[in-house]
Each structure stands twice: as structure tokens, then as C-alpha cells.
């Protein structure tokens, strides 16, 4: 098999895993993403690995495998940081924040979400900002910081309105 074919195979598996995730078939999504990850590791593609790990972490979170999700997301985060991929880093931090929120580690959730928000602001990604602001508002609300939760959620609403995202 030619090298380019192996990259396309890994990419197709990754895309299929994401599609299965979006369809709610998390078990098959996780298996497919693990296959993509294995191929990217064989190829030495760090970006491919990070992308597959990020998607795998999100999938495992949906399966309530929070430990597995955390491991996959932590590994993806390390690779994105090594590559200097700010968008990947911000998205992974957002998902890590959600995992922390879902496991009751609210201070860790807020920290990861704050870091994600800072990156999204630095790269002028308004959609990313709005998403993180919503998650951060929920985290602040859950910890009883109602004033800050309201401020953050108001900001999320303004950004979504500015974007025309109903």
C-alpha cells in the first residue's frame, strides 16, 4: 500500500468515527476512532493522532467513561500544544472542562474553560468563544457563583446574537 493511501485510510476512519459519534452510535464511534488512531500512530502523524484522540475523548465522555475520556483528551492536548495548534488546544480544553464539570471537579472545569476561552479570544474564534462561555456559565452557576454565571451567559448570548446563531 502506498503511503498516501494509508493517510487517506486513517482520515476516512477518523471521519467515519466522527459520523458515528454524531449519529449517537458511541461504541462503534470509539472503535472506529481507535482504529484511526492506531493508523496515525503507525504513520507517525502527530496531528492525526491529536485529532483522533480529541474525538475519541469526546466519544468516551458521551459513554460516561470519564477516565478514558480524560486520558484521551490529556494526550490530545499535549500533542496540540507541542504542535502549536491553538484551535485544537482550545477545543480540547473545552472538552476537558466538560469532563471535569460532569465529574464534579468544578474548579478544574472552570480553569480549563477559562484557558480555552483565552485561546479562542486570541485567535478571534467567536463561535468557539460562545460555546465555551455557555459551558463556563453552567460551571459558575453549578458552584453557586450566580453573578459571574449571569455575566458569562449574557456574554455568550451577545456573541451568539452577533453571529446570528439562534
Outline where the chain has alpha helix (H).
3-22, 26-43, 46-62, 66-83, 86-102, 106-122, 126-142, 146-163
Give pLDDT tens digits for 32-68. Answer: 999 999 999 999 999 999 999 999 999 999 999 999 9
* Residue 101 CB-half CA count within 13 A: 23
- Pick left, alpha or beta for residue 104 (phi over 0 → left; psi -120 to 50 → alpha; otherwise beta): left
Residues of the chain with pLDDT under 50: 1
Domains of the chain with bracketed CATH: 1-84 (1.25.40.10), 87-166 (1.25.40.10)
Whether this prediction's pTM lies above 0.85 is answered by yes
C-alpha to C-alpha distance for 10 and 113, rounded to whole angstroms:
30
104: which DSSP letter?
Answer: T
Largest interatomic CA distance in the chain: 59
pLDDT of residue 4: 58
pLDDT at 101: 96
Amino acid at each position: 500500500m502506498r503511503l498516501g493511501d494509508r493517510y487517506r485510510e486513517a482520515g476516512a476512519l477518523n471521519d467515519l468515527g466522527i459520523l458515528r459519534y454524531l449519529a449517537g452510535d458511541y461504541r462503534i464511534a470509539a472503535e472506529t476512532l481507535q482504529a484511526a488512531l492506531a493508523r496515525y500512530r503507525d504513520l507517525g502523524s502527530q496531528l492525526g493522532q491529536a485529532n483522533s484522540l480529541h474525538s475519541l475523548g469526546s466519544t468516551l465522555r458521551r459513554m460516561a467513561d470519564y477516565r478514558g475520556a480524560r486520558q484521551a483528551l490529556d494526550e490530545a492536548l499535549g500533542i496540540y500544544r507541542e504542535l502549536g495548534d491553538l484551535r485544537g488546544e482550545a477545543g480540547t480544553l473545552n472538552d476537558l472542562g466538560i469532563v471535569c464539570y460532569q465529574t464534579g471537579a468544578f474548579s478544574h472545569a472552570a480553569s480549563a474553560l477559562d484557558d480555552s476561552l483565552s485561546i479562542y479570544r486570541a485567535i478571534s474564534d467567536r463561535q468557539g468563544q460562545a460555546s465555551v462561555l455557555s459551558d463556563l456559565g453552567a460551571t459558575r452557576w453549578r458552584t453557586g457563583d450566580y453573578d459571574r454565571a449571569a455575566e458569562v451567559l449574557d456574554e455568550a448570548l451577545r456573541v451568539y446574537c452577533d453571529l446570528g446563531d439562534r
